[in-house]
Amino acid sequence: MPAETRLFRCLSDNYGVLLHDPESGATAAIDAPEAGPIEAALKETGWKLTDILVTHHHADHTGGIQALKDKYKCRVVAPAAEADKIPGVDLTVREGDKVTVGKLTANVIETPGHTSGHIAYWFHGDKLAFVGDTLFAIGCGRVIEGTPGMMWRSLLKLRDLPDDTKIYCGHEYTAANIKFAKTIEPDNKALAAREAQTAQQLAKGEPTIPVTIGEEKLANPFLRADVPEVAAGIGMAGKEPSQVFTEIRARKNKF
């Protein structure tokens, strides 16, 4: 049976999401920004929390873990490299490990850059990937603990997922990301289409995620650092993609 998801807002601009396996009844929260909205989503769906899958150690992804674990006795899965910074960890995982939520299975993909141990969970059977603060709709996370080169390699791993993979990221930053992306690729038609779509979604109070890898490849400048026209457009024709990425990321930091 296909997985079901429930997406909702937490804190100021975080997303919370529940992943539910209808066959076994298992339900995972992907990250736990805060307990209240996650408990509200559990109440609305009638699902019982069995797991929390953590992408990275930042407080806006882990602040709700302890309260949820105390209440639901759920299992906490976290990146091995950051387990000492995350409360209540039961299982640590690395690149290539598999994590199950009932009958659903995720591959763990290490995506360092935003933090040095950041991971993503790819549920290939359900064409879903939970990418935390590595890839955003039309954007990418700030490089806080790693290097831009590291972040570029992490983004390439996510870009390599099948085009129809649905991406759930950690924040609603899409409108601001599009404003910046237009400074890199002012004539990108796919980006213009995403701008119109995003404005409509936000006007209706709808989330702008999930997005697919295929859509992001066409419009997200951070996934396009190896497109010759993108490099040329910012005066970096012929430069290494990781250098082009580094420049785009630096411009976004100042934007």
**Residues with catalytic roles:** 56, 58, 60-61, 114, 133, 171
The interface mask with Fe ion, positions 165-204, x = CB under 5 A, is -----x----------------------------------
User: Considering only residues 137-176, where is the footprint of Zn ion by CB under 5 A?
Assistant: none
> Looking up tokens 């993909």, which residue turns up?
109
Over its C-alpha atoms, the chain yields an Rg (Å, rounded) of 18
Of 63 and 148, the one with the shorter C-beta distance to Fe ion is 63
Whose Cβ is closer to Fe ion: residue 21's or residue 133's? 133
Q: How far is the CB of 60 from Fe ion (least distance, A)?
A: 4
Distances (CA, A) of 120 to 24, 102, 169, 206, 232: 23, 18, 10, 24, 31
CB 99 within 8 A of CB 19: no
Shorter beta-carbon distance to Zn ion: residue 58 or 75: 58
Segment (H or E) for 82: none
- 64: which 2 tokens? 């709700």
The reply on whether position 133 binds Fe ion by CB under 5 A is yes
60 binds Fe ion (CB under 5 A): yes
C-beta of residue 209 within 8 angstroms of C-beta of residue 220:
no
User: Which one of residues 58, 69, 194, 252 is an interface residue with Zn ion (CB under 5 A)?
Assistant: 58
CA distances to 186, 201, 206 from 194, rounded to whole Å, are 13, 10, 14
Least Cβ distance, residue 61 to Zn ion (angstroms): 6
Q: How many CB atoms neighbour CB 250 within 10 A?
A: 12
Nearer to Zn ion by Cβ, of 58 and 224: the residue is 58
Task: Return the closest-CA partner of residue 210 out of 240, 171, 169.
Answer: 169
- When CB distances are held under 5 to 8 angstroms depending on the partner's kind, the choice from Zn ion, Fe ion, none that residue 113 binds is none
Q: Which does 172 bind (CB under 5 to 8 A by kind): Fe ion, Zn ion, none?
A: none
Q: Give 115 or 188: the residue with its C-beta nearer to Zn ion.
A: 115
Report if residue 20 touches Zn ion, rule: CB under 5 A: no
**Contact stretch for Zn ion (CB under 5 A) within 24-32, 54-62, 70-78, 208-216:** 54-62
Which amino acid type is present at position 237? A
* In the block, residue with structure tokens 């992804």: 61
Q: How many of the chain's residues bind Fe ion (CB under 5 A)?
A: 3
DSSP for 115-171 reads: STT-EEEEEGGGTEEEEETSEETTEE---SSS-HHHHHHHHHHHHTS-TTPEEEESB
Map residue 190 onto helix, strand or coil. helix
User: Quick check: 133 binds Zn ion (CB under 5 A)?
Assistant: yes
Binding stretches for Zn ion (CB under 5 A): 58, 133
Binding stretches for Fe ion (CB under 5 A): 60, 133, 170
